[in-house]
Amino acid sequence: MRMFLISDNVDTYTGMRLAGVNGVVIHSRDHLKQQLDTVLTDKTIGVVLITEKLSAEFPDIINDVKLNRKLPLIVEIPDRHGTGRKPDFITSYVNEAIGIKI
């Protein structure tokens, strides 16, 4: 299984290419849909890395794939601007999921 990157900026794309991950840079909703359709037909791709910013801009498209497909796994990654998550997002996630405050 391979990884594939869908990014909204060239810096993240370049960094991942240096690590051996193929991908594309997306700037529009239509281009995102087109690339996701291509990725979904490629059975060798098991993980799709997508920048948090792009995922936040088009949550309906990303959530549709996450909820209705087993593969590929979609993983949101921070880009050069850092993460959009709160500093304690893991603690908050555990607290919400099981009700235990850590």
Residue 26 is predicted with a pLDDT of: 92
Q: Domain map of the chain by residue range? A: 2-98
DSSP class of residue 85 equals: S
Per-residue pLDDT of the chain (102 residues; tens, 9 = 90+): 899 999 998 988 998 899 999 999 998 999 999 999 999 999 999 999 999 888 888 999 888 888 888 889 999 988 766 566 666 656 666 766 776 666
HSE of 22 in the Cβ direction (CA atoms, 13 Å)?
Answer: 7
Residue 53 is predicted with a pLDDT of: 87
H/E stretch holding 89: helix 89-98
Instruction: Give pTM, 2 decimals.
Output: 0.77
Evaluate whether the domain defined by 2-98 bears CATH number 3.30.70.20: no
Residue 89 is predicted with a pLDDT of: 54
7 within 8 A of 53, measured Cβ to Cβ: no
